[in-house]
Amino acid sequence: MGPGPSCVRDLKIWVEGMALVNDSYTLTRSWPKDELFGLTAQVRRAAVSIPCNLAEGRGRGTARETARFAQIALGSAYELDTLLQIATGLGLANENVVDGMRERLNSLARQISSFIRSQRSGF
């Protein structure tokens, strides 16, 4: 078995991902109920996928698996960025709030990319 669950909590990218989950739920809470199974669910799912995939990869215990799941988390970050753009375009979200989230998300994506490179250098 790989490192314990506390190990993933030490990753800055996991902590940042968790913060984006909270922000995403806060953002979508006021969206119309008819979006609950549409854009609201997609935003929440993409946000949750980021730290969950980082945790799963870390729990697999190998650099190769950690990098593979981090790559999936990175894809979810890009997906979330696109969904936030869509939400802004549809007038569901305040542009200033979303811009702040997107800046943090883009920073997180760069950090995840760097993390992936560091994991891949180990195999």
Show me where the domains of the chain are located.
5-120
| Interval 8-40: pLDDT, tens | 888 999 999 999 999 999 999 999 999 888 999
Q: Does domain 5-120 have CATH number 1.20.1440.60?
A: yes
- Residue 44's nearest CA partner among 31, 54, 34 is 31
How does residue 6 score in pLDDT terms, banded at 50, 70 and 90? low
pTM: 0.92
Q: Taking a C-beta distance cutoff of 8 angstroms, is the pair 51, 18 a contact?
A: yes
